[in-house]
């Protein structure tokens, strides 16, 4: 059953092709006027599961939830464009044009705000390395001293080290294996998932909820032997080969979403990614995981720089942050550029302010040299780490092998996050993210190599139990989103002093004060948000008897 070779996942911007995106563009619209959809009827564009997730977390609906105006899409099609994907969060569409002169006509349409050209030619040579390649070289790693393999009713076999490292076997033993949780995987192809034995259990129990192709290049999502990266990643979360491979969330359900186009690197793929994330939101996914990253492209003029990796500038980071604002936990790979002296940062969407970016370590918890180096000043990137060196994965032959890459650390974290969310139903994604980081091996001294360190998911579960903080519909902020001042309405069982805290996405207390509550309904005007960076925060109200919180979206001043 075993094969041992190293799969190097160079996913951050190299390509073997000299081609560029064939006349692809992103068309951004000015508004969503003439829209037949209404925020009063979210059931027309969100599933019941998505609506229930929003309700449980107290998240309302806004203009970003409305689909792109169909009349605008039709007008662009009438010019002669082929529409690839709409994106309601960015309010636009990606298109293909056979005749590039038609772009001038599209620019003149009254509702078109801007056009981004994804076509072009290279102005410099790029390293000819396939970003999902199998290499003959072997990355040395110390042999694990862990020998126990049969716990919690599962015989983990070779995969024991990667699960035990994050205390996943103890979560499994307590019955938390991802039941009832939905993970949307945004990735490349899923070669042979309908037939490989690691996925027998997923198929038998209908845990693969569906799939969707956002690339639309005519290649099969399951049938291309060269396009198997998504299959590898899925095996780490949902695989079940007793005695060899047990996934981190073998009882979770999955949406398989292809957003990555091989062997090219087009900026269109970032827009595909956002469209995939929107779909994940619409079907009610609890978690988005994506072992993809973007930095440089076939068209050199579109390349990113480390300065772009500021958490909210790139298309992918904007999409990741938006997904988080809808209540989804977003888990991504940090990147494999740790040995590249010309790229000293994570890639996008790992840079996103609200994503959980995963570094790679070996079976002894030592950082893998290829794992991308981030930042540890104003924000922490990467956020956490898991085993990404010699990680046990499914092979295309049906046996198991081992692979290297942060692509393989992210699904360990994603699956275990599903188990954590199963153990704490109704908790907001901000609390989930904070608990994961607080549970990690060096949470008090985060760095730019592995962030807060290796999480302990059983500890994270207990941390959340001790704090007993849940998002509450009884704590109301108006207006929300907010510029600086807002009104806080809440109900108190009795008079007394309560502590008011504003917490950022890293779990840091930004504002702290006390308020005098009276019995019954309370209404306070709070000036907390002036001067803060735009983004998502949590307002928490604590007393001896109440621990509640609600999210606040901060707008630019």
Give a yes or no: residue 9 inside a domain: no
Give a yes or no: residue 142 inside a domain: no
In this structure, what CATH number is given to the domain that contains residue 101? 3.30.70
Q: How far apart are CA 451 and CA 351, in angstroms?
A: 12
How many residues are recorded in the chain? 557
Which of 326, 6, 234, 270 minimizes the C-alpha distance to 138? Answer: 6
> What per-residue confidence (pLDDT) applies to 110?
98
453 plus 538 within the same structural domain:
no
Q: Please report which helix (H) or strand (E) contains residue 407, including its range.
A: helix 406-423
Mean pLDDT for 462-485 is 66
Torsion of CA 490, 491, 493, 497, to 10 degrees: 30
Q: Name the pLDDT band for 497 (thresholds 50, 70, 90).
A: confident
Give a yes or no: residue 345 inside a domain: yes
Q: Name the pLDDT band for 104 (thresholds 50, 70, 90).
A: very high
67 plus 209 within the same structural domain:
no
Give a yes or no: residue 291 inside a domain: yes
Q: Which of 7-11, 15-19, 351-355 has the highest mean pLDDT?
A: 351-355
Which of 95, 117, 139 is the last residue before a domain boundary? 117
Is the pLDDT confidence value at 381 over 70?
yes
- Answer yes or no: are the C-beta atoms of 407 and 291 closer than 8 Å: yes
Q: How far apart are CA 515 and CA 517, in angstroms?
A: 6
Domain count, the chain: 3
Which of 467, 495, 510 is the last residue before a domain boundary? 467
Q: What is the pLDDT of residues 338-359, one digit of tens each?
A: 999 989 999 999 999 999 999 9
Give a yes or no: residue 2 inside a domain: no
- Give per-residue burial for 294-325: e unless 16+ CB within 10 Å, then b: bbbbbbeebbbebebbbbeebbbbbbbbbbbb
435 plus 478 within the same structural domain:
no
Is the pLDDT confidence value at 221 over 70?
yes
Is the pLDDT confidence value at 91 over 90?
yes
> What per-residue confidence (pLDDT) applies to 546?
53
> What per-residue confidence (pLDDT) applies to 60?
85
For residues 16 and 27, the model is more confident at: 27
Which of 161, 132, 155, 147 minimizes the C-alpha distance to 412? Answer: 161
> What per-residue confidence (pLDDT) applies to 120?
55
> What per-residue confidence (pLDDT) applies to 430?
85
Averaged pLDDT score across all residues of the chain: 86
> What per-residue confidence (pLDDT) applies to 167?
97
Give a yes or no: residue 132 inside a domain: no
Query: Which region holds residue 321: left if phi is over 0, alpha if psi is between -120 and 50, else beta?
Result: alpha
- Answer yes or no: are the C-beta atoms of 224 and 187 closer than 8 Å: no
Mean pLDDT for 175-201 is 96
Give a yes or no: residue 134 inside a domain: no
Give a yes or no: residue 88 inside a domain: yes
Q: What is the pLDDT of residues 120-141, one digit of tens each?
A: 554 444 443 334 433 322 332 3
> What per-residue confidence (pLDDT) applies to 465?
61
Q: Name the pLDDT band for 12 (thresholds 50, 70, 90).
A: very low
For residues 361 and 523, the model is more confident at: 361
> What per-residue confidence (pLDDT) applies to 119?
67
Say what the pTM is: 0.81
499 plus 540 within the same structural domain:
yes
- Answer yes or no: are the C-beta atoms of 196 and 231 closer than 8 Å: yes
Q: What is the pLDDT of residues 436-449, one digit of tens each?
A: 999 999 999 999 99
Q: What is the pLDDT of residues 199-218, one digit of tens each?
A: 999 999 999 999 999 998 88
Q: How far apart are CA 402 and CA 134, in angstroms?
A: 11
Look up tokens 């845990």; give the residue. 207
Q: Please report which helix (H) or strand (E) contains residue 503, including its range.
A: strand 496-503
84 plus 175 within the same structural domain:
no
Q: How far apart are CA 244 and CA 198, in angstroms?
A: 10
> What per-residue confidence (pLDDT) applies to 262?
84
168 plus 296 within the same structural domain:
yes
241 plus 310 within the same structural domain:
yes
> What per-residue confidence (pLDDT) applies to 20?
46
340 plus 454 within the same structural domain:
yes
Share of the chain above pLDDT 90, in %: 63
Burial class (CB in 10 A: 0-12, 13-18, 19+), 229: buried
Four-residue CA torsion sign, 141, 147, 152, 153: positive
Is the pLDDT confidence value at 15 over 70?
no
Q: How far apart are CA 195 and CA 192, in angstroms?
A: 5
The angle at the Cα of 318, spanning 285 to 278, to the nearest 5 degrees, equals 30
370 plus 258 within the same structural domain:
yes
CB neighbours of 12 closer than 8 A, spacing ≥ 6? 131, 293, 294, 295, 296, 335, 336, 337, 343, 347, 372
DSSP count for the chain of H helices, then E strands: 12, 29
In this structure, what CATH number is given to the domain that contains residue 527? 2.60.40.3080
Mean pLDDT for 399-405 is 95
> What per-residue confidence (pLDDT) applies to 103?
96
Burial class (CB in 10 A: 0-12, 13-18, 19+), 159: buried
317 plus 245 within the same structural domain:
yes
In this structure, what CATH number is given to the domain that contains residue 437? 3.40.50.200
> What per-residue confidence (pLDDT) applies to 543?
63
CB atoms within 10 A of CB 2: 12
For residues 504 and 55, the model is more confident at: 55
Mean pLDDT for 223-228 is 91
Mean pLDDT for 511-536 is 84
For residues 521 and 316, the model is more confident at: 316
> What per-residue confidence (pLDDT) applies to 544?
52
214 plus 93 within the same structural domain:
no
Tell me how far CA of residue 9 lies from CA of 48, 460, 550, in angstroms: 37, 29, 39
> Which stretch of 61-75, 146-160, 460-474, 514-528 has the lowest confidence by average pLDDT?
460-474
Task: Determine the structural domain holding residue 534 and report its residue range.
Answer: 472-554
Which of 12, 518, 531 minimizes the C-alpha distance to 260? Answer: 12
Q: How far apart are CA 325 and CA 318, in angstroms?
A: 11
Q: What is the pLDDT of residues 531-557, one digit of tens each?
A: 888 777 888 887 654 567 777 878 776
Is the pLDDT confidence value at 149 over 80?
no
Q: Name the pLDDT band for 517 (thresholds 50, 70, 90).
A: confident
Which of 467, 489, 515 is the last residue before a domain boundary? 467
Q: How far apart are CA 367 and CA 139, in angstroms?
A: 12
438 plus 305 within the same structural domain:
yes
Mean pLDDT for 106-120 is 91
């Amino acid at each position: 059953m075993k094969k041992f070779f190293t799969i190097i996942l160079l996913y951050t911007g190299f390509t073997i092709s000299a081609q560029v995106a064939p006349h692809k563009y992103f068309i951004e619209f000015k508004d969503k006027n003439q829209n037949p959809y209404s925020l009063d009827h979210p059931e027309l564009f969100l599933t019941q599961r998505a609506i229930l997730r929003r309700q449980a977390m107290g998240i309302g609906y806004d203009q970003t939830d409305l689909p792109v105006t169909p009349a605008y899409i039709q007008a662009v099609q009438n010019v002669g464009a082929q529409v690839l994907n709409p994106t309601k969060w960015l309010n636009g569409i990606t298109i293909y044009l056979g005749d590039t002169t038609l772009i001038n006509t599209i620019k003149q349409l009254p509702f078109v705000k801007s056009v981004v050209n994804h076509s072009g030619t290279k102005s410099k040579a790029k390293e000819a390395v396939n970003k999902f390649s199998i290499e003959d070289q072997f990355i040395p790693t110390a042999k694990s001293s862990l020998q126990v393999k049969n716990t919690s009713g599962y015989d983990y076999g070779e995969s024991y080290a990667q699960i035990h490292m994050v205390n996943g076997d103890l979560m499994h033993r307590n019955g938390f294996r991802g039941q009832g949780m939905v993970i949307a995987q945004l990735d490349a192809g899923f070669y042979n998932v309908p037939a490989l034995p690691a996925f027998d259990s997923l198929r038998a129990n209908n845990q693969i909820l569906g799939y969707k192709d956002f690339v639309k290049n005519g290649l099969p999502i399951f049938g291309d032997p060269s396009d198997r990266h998504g299959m590898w990643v899925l095996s780490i979360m949902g695989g079940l080969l007793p005695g060899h491979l047990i996934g981190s969330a073998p009882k979770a359900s999955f949406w398989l979403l292809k957003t990555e186009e091989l062997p090219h690197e087009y900026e269109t793929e970032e827009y595909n990614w956002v469209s995939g994330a929107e779909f994940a939101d619409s079907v009610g996914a609890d978690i988005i995981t994506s072992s993809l990253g973007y930095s440089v492209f076939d068209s050199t003029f579109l390349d990113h720089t480390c300065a772009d990796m500021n958490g909210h500038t790139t298309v992918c980071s904007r999409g990741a942050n938006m997904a988080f604002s809808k209540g989804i936990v977003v888990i991504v790979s940090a990147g494999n550029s740790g040995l590249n002296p010309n790229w000293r940062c994570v890639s996008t969407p790992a840079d996103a302010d609200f994503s959980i970016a995963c570094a790679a370590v070996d079976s002894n918890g030592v950082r893998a040299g290829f794992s991308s180096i981030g930042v540890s000043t104003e924000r922490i990137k990467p956020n956490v780490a898991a085993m990404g060196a010699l990680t046990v994965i499914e092979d295309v032959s049906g046996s198991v092998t081992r692979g290297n890459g942060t692509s393989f650390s992210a699904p360990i974290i994603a699956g275990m996050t599903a188990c954590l969310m199963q153990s704490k139903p109704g908790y907001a994604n901000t609390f989930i993210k904070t608990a994961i980081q607080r549970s990690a091996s060096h949470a008090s001294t985060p760095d730019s190599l592995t962030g807060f360190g290796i999480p302990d998911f059983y500890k994270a579960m207990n941390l959340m139990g001790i704090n007993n903080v849940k998002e509450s519909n009884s704590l109301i902020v108006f207006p929300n989103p907010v510029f600086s001042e807002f009104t806080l309405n809440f109900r108190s069982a009795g008079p007394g002093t309560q502590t008011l805290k504003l917490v950022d996405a890293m779990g840091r207390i930004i504002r702290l004060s006390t308020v005098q509550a009276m019995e019954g309904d309370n209404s306070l005007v709070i000036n907390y948000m002036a001067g803060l960076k735009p983004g998502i925060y949590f307002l928490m109200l604590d007393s001896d008897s109440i621990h509640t919180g609600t999210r606040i979206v901060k707008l630019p001043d």
